[in-house]
Amino acid sequence: MSDRPGGLPPVSGIVLAGGRSSRFGSDKLTATIGGTTLLDRAVNGVAAVAAEVVVVLAPGVERTLARTGDDRQVRFVADPEAFGGPLVGVLAGLEVVEQPLVIVAGGDMPDLNPDVLSLLVRSLATADASIGAVALRSRATTSPLPAAVRTGAATDVARRLVADGERRLRSLFDHLPTRVLEESEWRALDPDGGSLRDVDVPSDL
């Protein structure tokens, strides 16, 4: 994209949009904040730093997005199994992205901060090659989303985990060497911590 932050290495984006929304009670990704759906807000946040965005859907589900720019490249791919879990969705995205670095986020994350996403990407790009991911820590807890991952390393680990029956996204970071950014490294860019916000129930809107 032409408006990516200057100096940012090429990066793809994966937005996970294949969940059931069971706690929300209806299709939460079509819920709106300020007239924009949760999914559009998440895609727009990732697209601010990524040359392409891959949206991973449940099989048989169709989505439409509001176009916010002619240069935004968005593709839809289907999970290989319905509601198979976030790790399966991440793997589906990893297998089709074009860039060696990837930002991964949830479709229910409406307040992704481009500066924080850029920090994740730059931190991974400048880390030792043995580091396969960079994630954020908040209140002593490491959050699996958003995160930056190396496509090759993350794909290899995700394939092995999925083949072993693992479906939890956190397991990817348990098995992938990960650098964790402490709050002191990112909070000034996002004082409200919106980049970690996700919507599970209507009261979260």
Give one DSSP letter per residue of 66-131, joined into a string.
----TT--EEEEE-SSTT--HHHHHHHHHTT--SSEEEEEETT-TT--HHHHHHHHHHHHTS-TT-
Lowest model confidence (mean pLDDT) among 16-30, 77-91, 168-182: 16-30
Number of H helices, E strands in the chain: 6, 9
Domain boundaries, the chain: 12-200
pLDDT of residue 140: 82
Query: Please, what is the average pLDDT of the chain?
Result: 90
Alpha carbon 28 to chain centroid, angstroms: 17
For the segment 112-124, the average pLDDT, to the nearest whole number, is: 98
Q: Are strands 141-150 and 101-106 parallel, antiparallel or unpaired?
A: antiparallel
pLDDT band at 1 (very low <50, low <70, confident <90, very high): very low
Is the pLDDT at 88 greater than 90? The verdict is: yes
For the segment 185-189, the average pLDDT, to the nearest whole number, is: 98
Q: Report the share of the chain in percent with pLDDT over 90.
A: 72
Per-residue model confidence as pLDDT tens digits over 32-77 = 899 999 999 999 999 999 999 999 998 877 777 875 554 568 999 9
What is the rounded CA–CA span in Å between residue 184 and residue 103? 21
Per-residue model confidence as pLDDT tens digits over 129-170 = 999 999 999 988 899 999 999 999 999 999 999 999 999 999
pLDDT of residue 70: 45
Fold for 12-200, please state it: Spore Coat Polysaccharide Biosynthesis Protein SpsA; Chain A (3.90.550)
Is the pLDDT at 22 greater than 80? The verdict is: no
Q: Is the pTM above the cut of 0.85? A: yes
Q: Report the share of the chain in percent with pLDDT over 70.
A: 87
